[in-house]
Amino acid sequence: MRKIAYIDNFSEWEQSFNFSITFTVRFSETDAFGHLNNTVPFTYFEDARVAMLTAIDYEIDANSQLLPVVADIQCDFIKQVFFKETITLYTKINTIGNTSFEIHYMAKNEQREICFVGRGAIVQINKKTGRPHQLDAALIKRLNTLK
Amino acid sequence: MRKIAYIDNFSEWEQSFNFSITFTVRFSETDAFGHLNNTVPFTYFEDARVAMLTAIDYEIDANSQLLPVVADIQCDFIKQVFFKETITLYTKINTIGNTSFEIHYMAKNEQREICFVGRGAIVQINKKTGRPHQLDAALIKRLNTLK
Amino acid sequence: MRKIAYIDNFSEWEQSFNFSITFTVRFSETDAFGHLNNTVPFTYFEDARVAMLTAIDYEIDANSQLLPVVADIQCDFIKQVFFKETITLYTKINTIGNTSFEIHYMAKNEQREICFVGRGAIVQINKKTGRPHQLDAALIKRLNTLK
Amino acid sequence: MRKIAYIDNFSEWEQSFNFSITFTVRFSETDAFGHLNNTVPFTYFEDARVAMLTAIDYEIDANSQLLPVVADIQCDFIKQVFFKETITLYTKINTIGNTSFEIHYMAKNEQREICFVGRGAIVQINKKTGRPHQLDAALIKRLNTLK
């Protein structure tokens, strides 16, 4: 596999995930090239991220004063994905900062081949000010269980 | 064209629209059949509806107490639409009730062929109660300009 | 519940479904009103339809000469659906014609409340001619098992 | 603005774009946080990329033997974007390799504030083999006009 900047040791990295959910590719998620459109993995990333954070009671709630918001996100496409394939998307927290944390993503098909990988930072913002807001110690503790 | 239940006199109906906006089909809106996926016209319907209602200052605003919400919506597909085609989507208000009104939709390609048509009711609901809320006289007057 | 034109006897209709799949609402499927955007049920309809037709080996395959294509589709919204809700979407074949068949849809939330219902015709078209193509007897037999 | 790895000199970079198209945020593109969902900029990137490549007659055509496919893509979110905002998305080609080229993206709102930026590589693949295929000299010449 080609070198990807955010993956140091690939085989170690591949073994480092504990959380995953699965997706079966919808017909509406394909495009005229006959494969999964390149915009859809970001939808999967969001859904997997929400599931992972929900598992540690970090709810995505629009009524909350503190919102976890995507600061940046990226995806590297390794192998094409087609209609009806079932994709297992692995996620983990890579690093945790003061107001943000970084998530890594790895998608495998049913043959256990890596189809796409990604990473991105989530920043906790205060809804009123729109500014980053410190992650509290209890949350950091829970986030650490996802590393 | 096949008989469509909500269109009485087709040629009269076709002439009855005054408002339109255009869409150019995005690649991500196609599917593996190579054409516009059947779920996308509803996205176009929403966008055209918003533009039409904005033109009479009926804003779609999540912070408002009264929200115009889709009660039902339908689409009849007449002719396939492909990537990069430019579609003109015509909209008009067909009927106005106490708490709701009905919108008609007609989409034409660059050859002026009808590609899909549709209709649907919008009901004004009170965000707090979730119940239908009467359209006031001033709004009905403005909605009438779109018939 | 309000009268819906394609449902004669509601309680009979509600009991008439044998096939279902579930969806958990993705964050990207919500809109600024905080609920499931009205365009998304059509994505669920397609996914459920594909699953149901796959169950009788009627594959959605872009390389096939005969493609099942949406002729028309509609949705009635009964109850709002929110982020993270799990929706069970029931589907059945209502009627079968020469070149087309009609599917009914019913979505329930975890409280077993009906959230939205729908219907739509699928027409089998010949990819080369773009014209409707007769359903063969073997396929009609399999479609009949979904009524 | 925070440091972004693929932008050396920000003010030079900001001035270096010659191509742009505009988008008005659709209601269906917002989410329950009330802003543009983070998956949507990738849809805009694709649409802008297609428009830019079409301008040099590099068509995105599923029937072609050579397909320009996304190898990787990323987005940095700078400022929230809301319903109905009009976004101008600037694109340019940053570098050109043997089988691939890199595109940069910059989105500004009506106040000329940068809302999100991005980059990504497009690789030309041979549809039959699925392998990268060399960009020919004539195409490279045209791609160079977009730098």
* Domain assignment of residue D87, yes or no: yes
CA distance C111 to A85: 31
* Domain assignment of residue D49, yes or no: yes
D72: which 2 tokens? 């990787």
Number of domains within chain B? 1
Answer yes or no: do D60 and B27 touch at CB < 8 A: yes
* DSSP character at residue C29: G
pLDDT at C51: 96
What CATH number did the domain enclosing B65 receive?
3.10.129.10
pLDDT at D2: 82
Q: Please name the residue that has the structure tokens 């990226």.
A: A74
- This prediction's pTM: 0.96
Answer yes or no: do A54 and C28 touch at CB < 8 A: no
* DSSP character at residue D136: P
Nearest CB to D62: which of B26, B34, B50?
Answer: B34
Q: Please name the residue that has the structure tokens 């799990």.
A: C86
Write the single-letter amino acid at A68.
Answer: P
* Domain assignment of residue D5, yes or no: no
What residue in D sits closest to C35 (Cα-Cα)? D32
Length of chain C: 147
pLDDT at B35: 94
Answer yes or no: do C27 and D37 touch at CB < 8 A: yes
Answer yes or no: do B39 and A28 touch at CB < 8 A: yes
> Which of the residues C22, C33, C44, C50 would you substitute to probe the A interface, choosing the one with the greatest number of A C-beta atoms within 10 Å?
C50
pLDDT at D130: 86
**Spans in chain C with pLDDT lower than 70:** none
> Which residues of B are less than 8 Å from C99 in CB distance?
none
pLDDT at C59: 85
Chain B: closest CA distance from residue A76 (Å): 18
* Domain assignment of residue C3, yes or no: no
Answer yes or no: do C50 and A28 touch at CB < 8 A: no
Number of residue pairs across A and B with CB atoms under 8 Å?
A: 26
Per-residue pLDDT band for D61 (boundaries 50, 70, 90) equals: confident
> Which residues of A are less than 8 Å from B28 in CB distance?
31, 37, 39
* Domain assignment of residue B1, yes or no: no
pLDDT at D50: 96
Predicted complex ipTM: 0.96
Residue B100, domain extent: 10-144
C15: which 2 tokens? 């009991």
Answer yes or no: do C60 and A27 touch at CB < 8 A: yes
Chain C: closest CA distance from residue D104 (Å): 25
- Within 90-109 of B, beta carbons closer than 8 Å to D belong to none
Beta carbons of C74 and B74 less than 8 angstroms apart: yes
**Spans in chain B with pLDDT lower than 70:** none
* Domain assignment of residue A92, yes or no: yes
B65 contacts chain C (CB < 8 A): no
* Domain assignment of residue A114, yes or no: yes
**Spans in chain A with pLDDT lower than 70:** none
C50-59 confidence digits (pLDDT tens): 999 999 999 8
Q: What are chain C's partners, defined as 3 or more CB pairs within 8 angstroms?
A: A, B, D
Alpha-helix residue ranges (DSSP H) falling in chain B: 10-15, 40-55, 137-144
* Domain assignment of residue B100, yes or no: yes
Asked if the model's pLDDT at residue D48 lies above 90, the reply is yes
Asked if the model's pLDDT at residue D22 lies above 80, the reply is yes
